Amino acid sequence: MRRSSPFLYLALLALLFVAGDRLGALALGHVVDASEFRFSRLHRGGLDNDILVVGNSRAVHSVFAPQLSRMLDCRVFNAAYNGMSGEVVEAIVKDYLEHNKPPKIVLIEVSDAVDSPVLVNELRLFARDAGPVHDLVRRFDPWNDVWATISHLYEFNNEMTLRALYQLHRSDQDWIMYDRPMTPEVLAHIPLNEFKNYHSRPESVAALRRLVSELNARGIKPVLYIAPFHPYFRKLVPRYTEWESALQHDLGADEPIFDMSQMFCANENFTDLLHVNIHGSRLVTAAMAERLRPIMAKIVANTASAAALSVPSHADTADLH
Amino acid sequence: MVFTSLTFLVFAALFFPAFFLTRGRLQSLITLVASYVFYGWWDWRFMALLAVSTVGDYTIGRLLARTEATGTRRLMLTLSIAANLSYLGFFKHFNFFASSMAALLHGIGLEADWATLHIVLPVGISFYTFQSMSYTIDVYYRRLAPERDFLVFATFIALFPQLVAGPIVRARWLLPQLHRTRRFRWTNLFVGLEMIITGFFLKLVVADNISPFVTLNFQLPEAYNSLSLLLAVILFAFQIYGDFAGYSLIAIGLARIMGYKFPANFRRPYFSRSFSEFWTRWHISLSSWLRDYLYIPLGGNRHGKARTHRNLLTTMLLGGLWHGANWTFIGWGALHGCYLVGQRLLSDSARRAPMRLPVPRAAAYLLQVLAVFTLVSVAWVFFRASSFSEAMIVLRRILLLDDWHTSDLPLKFHLVKALALVMLLVAIEVGAECSTIRNIYFRSRAARTGGMLALLWLIPLAGSFAGAQFIYFQF
């Protein structure tokens, strides 16, 4: 360190850092891309699902994809993730449509109330290629490109990398809250001002509206819903009714929101004030299946008639010959 | 300005060239101005308090040099100590004492409408007041010649690497270094960078990754099971170590680049086999300050067992109160005081009992280390909890051993990552604790380069860049 030229040593150190950083990132990139984690699969492409579920953690835990799939006899893919705001939902659905076959229905949980699109930090893992996710990360985290230029390993510094490693060989579509139910003891200790600022950001709502319009334009049916809240939550949120009415007004104009927020109130169905557990999820998924069954039937019927119209009849083909 | 911020990066890029391009008093002046800018970045009003403290103790130092009369000298010293303690008392402890007194009076049926003030706590006040006090005490006892040069003295108090959260560097150590012009040395740069990188690893990678799990558990301990709370308590021991030792290393490394040598502030404290050893390895600059300026003047261990125990308890209680105006800190200090007294009460043979057990020496060593770590972690519960009752809830729920289901653990991915990083830290510390490995590592350029590169890769890969403050900034 001291005998050779210090400049040479510093240059060598920098070179070794960059080489190790790039090699490490390359190896991690291959592992993440090959994972069975939901966003790895979505980004890798080739999915063919009838129903796509998006939204924040309330969507992750409220719609149990395997159960819904069984009940409706169709393919369901849950692409929801903790802290997913409207802007992220929009980017993820667009990313899905770019890489995969379009679904028939996109199920969107709309009660997002995060102060900023926090998930953007996580999504840089899938922002390595150009596309909707890359644009979103660039918009909300303009420094990301700078950091990612200095260190490629930085792109893997998030929970999604850990999840991708954990889900390397098994699907995460059964991700659900198995936790014990809510207890009066826990309820008693929740601070009264815990949700005093609960609100939906206008930017997030606007992104959802844009998405709904785009889906309608593409012939994909958007279904909006609000997952159940624990009854105590509704007491803690000031002007809860106004918040819900505003959501209905802003989003429900084109697509009425399926409101399940007061579907049940027993502690045993919740793991906390915002999330249902496995018992609550079963009830929500069953109700959702009932809601979607006629919609699916209608879509299938329309698709069949459209196919019948577009396929030339025997007589027509005979004429052609 | 925080060491882990981009602002500090810009600050350092401007400061270091200016520092090394100047000589003599101009170098001191640049350091002083930069230190005040660094400090004023939080709140410019804090600079006034720092300046008042500096002018006060400089003047008292000069006055002490001019008089030989014992009475006058004692008065000067009392003035200095009273002034420094009054800054601390007002900014840090006023509301605590006012509300505690009101609660006490309420308990005996008297109602007192004490005014609590909205006081903004000046960052680092506990550190620089102690540093300043040590100067006047040393001058009073003639262990140190009073500083003539105000510029040097002001730089000693405000030197930015150690201003906000230590280490508390004694005047005897630092003043002579501040008198000499510092020139750029490659050796200092490399050694300093090594310390800074290790400090960033401890703070950004270890401490800040542990923080979310610990915070969640301590926010609502009723909601989490025994296993979760136990893990939170163990992890907090590593969080506070990573946070504070990380800060200290960055501070010492920055000073080293400038050419100043600071004493070490941490020496792998969780390998201590006794509580007295723990306090020679944890926050060494504070524990040695308390020993030299409080415990020994109180009589130390020179006047029998009872007085020694009283002195130990008093020192640790005041050490707890130094951290903050809260019963939790007093509880933490009291517990450590009790540990030290308990250790003294145990006879030498009882203390060495683990070494006589029919188990390998390493196992006996491990047993002692684990015992000390466990009790230190219990004390950390009081340090971390926001109230005494919250600390008791955490401890009670752990002791209940009611639920050990891993499925109920919150933030599982954070937890796994935190545990993996703690294991990595422990592995590094075990290597550093073993003198053979340590010697091989520090003598091999390739090993040191490899070590630094590994930490440099870990920082972007696993570091937390959420801008978390250093825990000790609140003190």
pLDDT digits (tens, 9 = 90+) for A2-37: 456 889 999 999 999 999 999 999 999 999 999 999
* Chain A interface test: which of B194, B443, B461 (most A C-beta within 10 Å): B461
**Residue B349, pLDDT score:** 65
Whether residue A157 and residue B186 make contact (CB cut-off 8 A), yes or no, is no
On the question of pLDDT at A316 being above 50, the answer is no
- Residues in chain A with CB shorter than 8 Å from the CB of B186 are 2, 6
- Residues in chain B with CB shorter than 8 Å from the CB of A166 are 413
**Gap between the Cα atoms of B472 and B200, Å rounded:** 15
Both tokens assigned to B80 = 């200095």
B448 to chain A, minimum CA–CA distance in Å?
9
B416 to chain A, minimum CA–CA distance in Å?
9
**Residue B417, pLDDT score:** 94
pTM: 0.84
Which value does ipTM take for this structure?
0.80
Which of A56-60, A143-147, B137-141, B205-209 shows the lowest per-residue confidence on average (mean pLDDT)? Answer: A143-147
**Close Cβ partners of B399 (under 8 Å, ≥ 6 residues apart):** B226
Whether residue B413 and residue A2 make contact (CB cut-off 8 A), yes or no, is no
The partner residue sitting opposite A6, judged by closest CB among B186, B405, B460, is: B186
pLDDT band at A179 (very low <50, low <70, confident <90, very high): low
**Are the beta carbons of B57 and B136 closer than 8 angstroms?**
yes
Whether residue B461 and residue A153 make contact (CB cut-off 8 A), yes or no, is yes
A107, β-bridge pairs: A53, A223
- Residues in chain B with CB shorter than 8 Å from the CB of A153 are 457, 460-461
Closest CA to B377 of B168, B232, B195: B232
Indicate the domain borders of chain B: 6-96+116-183, 188-474
B184 CB within 8 Å of a chain A CB: no
A156 CB within 8 Å of a chain B CB: yes
A2 CB within 8 Å of a chain B CB: yes
B417 CB within 8 Å of a chain A CB: yes
2.60.40.420, 3.40.50.720, 3.40.50.300, 3.40.50.1110: which CATH number matches A6-306?
A: 3.40.50.1110
pLDDT band at A320 (very low <50, low <70, confident <90, very high): very low
A312 CB within 8 Å of a chain B CB: no
pLDDT band at A272 (very low <50, low <70, confident <90, very high): confident
The partner residue sitting opposite A179, judged by closest CB among B408, B461, B463, is: B408
- Does residue B461 sit in helix, strand or coil? helix
Whether residue B222 and residue A185 make contact (CB cut-off 8 A), yes or no, is yes
Whether residue B463 and residue A157 make contact (CB cut-off 8 A), yes or no, is yes
A159 CB within 8 Å of a chain B CB: yes
B220 CB within 8 Å of a chain A CB: yes
Whether residue A1 and residue B449 make contact (CB cut-off 8 A), yes or no, is yes
DSSP assignment string, A10-75:
HHHHHHHHHHHHHHHHHHHHHHHHTS-SHHHHHHH---B-SEEEESSHHHHHHS-HHHHHHHHTS-
Q: What percent of chain A has pLDDT over 70?
A: 92
Phi, psi angle pair for A36, to nearest 5°: -95, 10
Whether residue B457 and residue A16 make contact (CB cut-off 8 A), yes or no, is no
The partner residue sitting opposite B220, judged by closest CB among A154, A163, A189, is: A189
**Residue B95, pLDDT score:** 66
Q: Do the strands A258-259 and A221-226 form a parallel or antiparallel pair, or are they unpaired?
A: parallel
Which are the catalytic amino acids of B?
323
Helices (H), B179-303: 186-200, 208-219, 226-258, 275-278, 284-290
Q: Say how many Å lie between the first and final Cα of chain B, rounded.
A: 16
Both tokens assigned to B286 = 């504070």
Per residue of chain B (475 residues), give pLDDT as tens. 888 788 999 999 999 999 999 998 999 999 999 999 999 888 888 888 899 999 999 999 999 988 888 899 999 999 999 998 888 888 776 666 666 666 777 777 766 555 555 556 677 888 888 999 999 999 999 999 999 999 999 999 999 998 878 799 999 999 999 998 889 999 999 999 999 999 999 999 999 999 999 999 998 888 888 999 999 999 999 999 999 999 999 999 999 999 999 999 999 999 999 999 999 999 999 999 999 999 999 988 888 888 999 999 999 999 998 887 788 999 999 999 999 999 988 866 666 676 677 778 888 889 999 999 999 999 999 999 999 899 999 999 998 877 777 777 888 889 999 999 999 999 999 999 988 998 999 899 899 999 999 999 999 999 988 766 777 666 6
Which tens digit of pLDDT belongs to each residue from A227-265? 999 999 888 887 788 888 888 888 766 678 899 999 998
- Residues in chain A with CB shorter than 8 Å from the CB of B223 are 186, 189
B74-83 burial, b at 16+ Cβ within 10 Å, e below that, comes to eebbebbbeb
Residue type, A184: P
**Gap between the Cα atoms of A132 and A198, Å rounded:** 28
Whether residue A179 and residue B416 make contact (CB cut-off 8 A), yes or no, is no
Which helix (H) or strand (E) covers residue B117, if one does? none
A53, β-bridge pairs: A78, A107
Whether residue A166 and residue B413 make contact (CB cut-off 8 A), yes or no, is yes
pLDDT, mean over chain A: 86
| CA angle in degrees (0–180, nearest 5) for B291-B294-B298 | 110
A153 CB within 8 Å of a chain B CB: yes
A151 CB within 8 Å of a chain B CB: yes
Whether residue A1 and residue B222 make contact (CB cut-off 8 A), yes or no, is no
Q: Say how many Å lie between the first and final Cα of chain A, rounded.
A: 85
Indicate the domain borders of chain A: 6-306
- Residues in chain A with CB shorter than 8 Å from the CB of B463 are 157
Whether residue A163 and residue B220 make contact (CB cut-off 8 A), yes or no, is no
B456 CB within 8 Å of a chain A CB: yes
**Gap between the Cα atoms of B291 and A108, Å rounded:** 63
A259, β-bridge pairs: A226
B347 CB within 8 Å of a chain A CB: no
A159 to chain B, minimum CA–CA distance in Å?
7
Whether residue A189 and residue B449 make contact (CB cut-off 8 A), yes or no, is no
Residue type, A164: A
Number of CB atoms found within 10 A of residue A128's CB: 18
- Locate the chain A residue with the closest alpha carbon to B6: A143
Inter-chain Cβ pairs, chain A and chain B, closer than 8 A: 60
pLDDT band at A315 (very low <50, low <70, confident <90, very high): very low
A24 CB within 8 Å of a chain B CB: yes
